[in-house]
Amino acid sequence: MTRYYLQLAVRGLLQHRALTALMVFAIGLGIAATMTGLTILARYGSDPIPQKSKQLFAVQLDAWKGDSPTNEFDFNAPPDQLTYKDATALMQRAPAKRQTAMYLTGAALQSDNAEIAPFFRPMRATQNVFFELFELQFIYGAAWRDSDDAAKARVTVLTQPLSEMLFGASNPVGKQVQYGAERFTVVGVVKEFAPKPKFYDLNQGTLGDADAAYLPIATAIDLSMNQSGNTSCFESSGNGWSDFIASECIWLQYWVELETAAETSAYLSFLNAYADEQHKLGRFVDTTRNNHVVDVKQWLKQNKVVPQDSKIFVYVSIGFLLVCLINALGLMLAKFLRRANELGVRRALGASKRSVFVQHLFEAGAIGTAGAALGVVLTILGLKGMHLLYAKLENFAVLDLKTLAILVLVSVSATVLAGLLPAWRVSQLPPARALKAN
Amino acid sequence: MGPTIRALLKSKTGAILIILEVAITLAIVSNALSMISTRSAAMARPSGVEEERLFTFRSSPIDRNTYPAEAAFAADRARLLALPGVENAYATDQLPLSGSGSSTSVKLGPDDPRESQTATYYADENTLATLGVKLLSGRNFDAREIRTLKPRADETPSVVLISKALSDSLFPDGAAVGKRLAGRDDSAGTGPEIVGVYGKLQSPWNGDEYIENTLLMPFRPGGRVAWVVRAQPEAVLGLQISARDMLANADRSRMVSPTAQSMLEIRAESYRDDRAMIVLMSILSSLLIVITAFGIVGMASFWVTQRTKQIGMRRALGATRSAIVREFQLENALLTTAGAALGIALAYGANYWFARQANIPMLPLSYVLIGIVLVFALGQLAVLRPAQRASRVSPAIATRSV
């Protein structure tokens, strides 16, 4: 029976081809627009570190005294970065197994290979805990030791692309690289860590470039390696690097790993106690205890990583899809009812109302399937177009199998749903009138 | 009108579908038009600099401790000016529309209600001439006033130049030149003296509410500098490569960014998302209009077929061809009116929803009106062919069967 319905459906599609084409085209377009938008939205909203996102927390301390907001989205929010004073205090005293401050810096890299001209690379100054905290994978060597952090050692961990650029495929552990005027010893090589969104430091944008190398934060501070992210100050940062690191300017990111609710609340209590203590020392504007630990998901939400334009595009394309479906509904109604005579004959020859109904649902399904096929092609083209419009989306917003499956499912089910009414209407036609008219 | 409404009531489903299509189309198209025009207007704002004449690249000392910043600046500037086609050059920290920079708030004293947010740039005596920004009053910086600052030095300048927009917000009724800004401690008259007011020079952030507020400080960066080079428009493209390469090779004690950017590229990059949104909204709206039009054609054609006999009857009873065409046109006009009424509500609902999500202005009525005119024209155009076909139905049809 199914085969018979399919045959009828195909034959139905071939009648009034212009109408069929119009429906398929409209559904394909509507589905493609929506899926293109949803793919982008889903990528922005995706969890950048799924295995750990519930245990990782950004730390916010309300060390801000001025009257200018530091968070452009929420005037009551505490600053989203820390002062160097507080970052060092937390690293020494706060109760957590793994936690670290970090900041983005960079240096002119000089290879011993004279053929490679000096070039700039972004680097992250942090503690060795960083690698465990975010589960970076070592290809060669290992993180620097705790004593290196303390001793401001000139050691570094390279990412694979940088290591290959400087040393080819060989193991560079123990070799030297030159950052600016200083020589560093390579202690390890990690696979490039490029989570998107770059949740742990959103200052260079949601899809900021991956860091090329890592070095101990104490070393970077010692060498006054300038910070290249965002800095906010409510008072002068003084004259030069040593004033800057002693200032009330906020410029460091701080992440902590907390496994249980008890650990989280203990950590938070510490932050509040610390804030009270600093308040007594004349820092921190008041004791409102506007201090927080924020998990990855909430952090991304709070920082509005999903671009408004992407959301608007999705709303508009859903409206567009709706018009396409309404359009298909109307055209199916018109198309099916035009067959009144033919259907009169089928009914008179013994076809039940139900079989006429099912026959037309199959036809609707066939339109949906054709629309889905066109939709897949158009979605691929749509995403290509998006890459042209927004270069940053390349290698980021790509069609995956899950979206593809959703696309086909939505297309077919929405079209069948839209076909319900026309199919029902046409199955209710009394056969006699149609026959009489002939 | 009577027969038209009765005919519509007989095909309620189709009528409702057309009304819904028209309504959603109107809602989307009017909001899209509003978005397109807001963004085009933002993109059309001049940055204040002669963009087609400027390009930039960065140069960073490899060892900041031993780098002779002042001598290197003078040598590099001489090298740049020696290149044929180069007209002027200066070194700064940041550029308009570049997306990264510094800002501060300025006021004249404690609790100044006119306290204004402003972007700040490092500048020297050649800045205005290089950028092509006009000095409106007061004087330019003097070469002797320019100081080279260490990285991370946060010093208060003794003199500043401010933009007309900043001057207007700080001194709505008068001359800014000669006045002093508040000092670090907010006390009046202890901060930098405003020695000049220039015309337009935008801030680095194109989405900034205070985009026209800028302030020039007589500083030169002692670490990394952004060179801004002015050249003949037709020479910019070639010089972008040759000037950068020349400086990179002239002195290996600093690192020069691998490529130079023209100011036009910076502008394009700055407004990239807005341009993308304009393209996307235009495409979606156009496709929507086409699909709705074809939907109307399809539905109207179906009605013509369905009502062939009634039309024949009316023709037999004396209705003229044009009366039949008018009937279909009237029918469409009624549907569009209903659709437009619903569409206005939807358009404002969507606008309210978008506005809550993002920084989107209230939908101006004019775009809704344009949208209404559009859907009416669309409907009438779409229904024309089917209506003409209807008008050609022969009165004889009425006699064939009843």
Is the Cβ pair A19, B25 closer than 8 Å?
no
pLDDT at residue B332, rounded to an integer: 92
What is the tens place of the pLDDT at every residue in A170-188? 999 999 999 988 999 999 9
Q: How is residue B35 written in tokens?
A: 């978005």
What is the tens place of the pLDDT at every residue in A121-179? 999 999 999 999 999 999 999 999 999 998 999 999 999 999 999 998 999 999 999 99
Is the Cβ pair A239, B154 closer than 8 Å?
yes
Nearest-Cα distance to chain B for A128, in Å, is 26
- Chain A positions touching B292 (Cβ under 8 A) are 323, 327
CB atoms within 10 A of CB A396: 18
* Residue A347 reports pLDDT greater than 80: yes
Report residues of chain B scoring pLDDT below 50.
402
Nearest-Cα distance to chain A for B39, in Å, is 12
pLDDT at residue A438, rounded to an integer: 46
* B111–chain A Cβ distance below 8 A for any pair: no
Nearest-Cα distance to chain A for B156, in Å, is 9
* C-alpha torsion angle, residues B161, B167, B171, B173 (rounded to 10): 120
Q: Which of B106, B209, B294, B397 to mutate to test the interface with A (most CBs of A within 10 A)?
A: B294
- Chain B positions touching A183 (Cβ under 8 A) are none
Contacts of B182 (CB under 8 A, 6+ apart): B106, B107, B108, B109, B110, B112, B188, B189, B190, B191
Whether residue A162 contacts residue A123, with contact meaning beta carbons closer than 8 Å, is answered with: no
- Chain A positions touching B357 (Cβ under 8 A) are 308, 311-312
Is the Cβ pair A337, B302 closer than 8 Å?
yes
* B21–chain A Cβ distance below 8 A for any pair: yes
What is the tens place of the pLDDT at every residue in A200-259? 999 888 888 899 999 999 999 999 998 888 888 888 888 889 999 999 999 999 999 999
Q: How is residue A221 written in tokens?
A: 């501070």
Please tell me the distance from the alpha carbon of residue B372 to that of residue B336, in angstroms, as a whole number.
Answer: 9
* A404–chain B Cβ distance below 8 A for any pair: no
Please name the member of A108, A117, A240 whose beta carbon is closest to the beta carbon of B60. Answer: A108
* B152–chain A Cβ distance below 8 A for any pair: yes
pLDDT at residue A110, rounded to an integer: 81
User: In the 8-state DSSP scheme, what is residue B156?
Assistant: P
Scan residues 215-254 of A and list those with Cβ closer than 8 Å to B: 224, 226, 233, 235-241, 243-244
Is the Cβ pair A330, B66 closer than 8 Å?
no
What is the distance of C-alpha B201 from the center of its chain? 17
Type of residue found at A126: T
- Chain A positions touching B32 (Cβ under 8 A) are 316
pLDDT at residue A433, rounded to an integer: 66
Q: Which residues share a beta bridge with A250?
A: A232
Across A328-332, A334-338, A420-424, least confident range: A334-338
The residue whose two tokens read 């933009």 is: B163
Q: Coil, strand or helix: which one is A283?
A: coil
Please name the member of A239, A331, A391 whose beta carbon is closest to the beta carbon of B155. Answer: A239
Does an H or E element contain B376, and which? helix B365-391
pLDDT at residue B402, rounded to an integer: 46
Is the Cβ pair B291, A312 closer than 8 Å?
no
What ipTM did this prediction achieve? 0.90
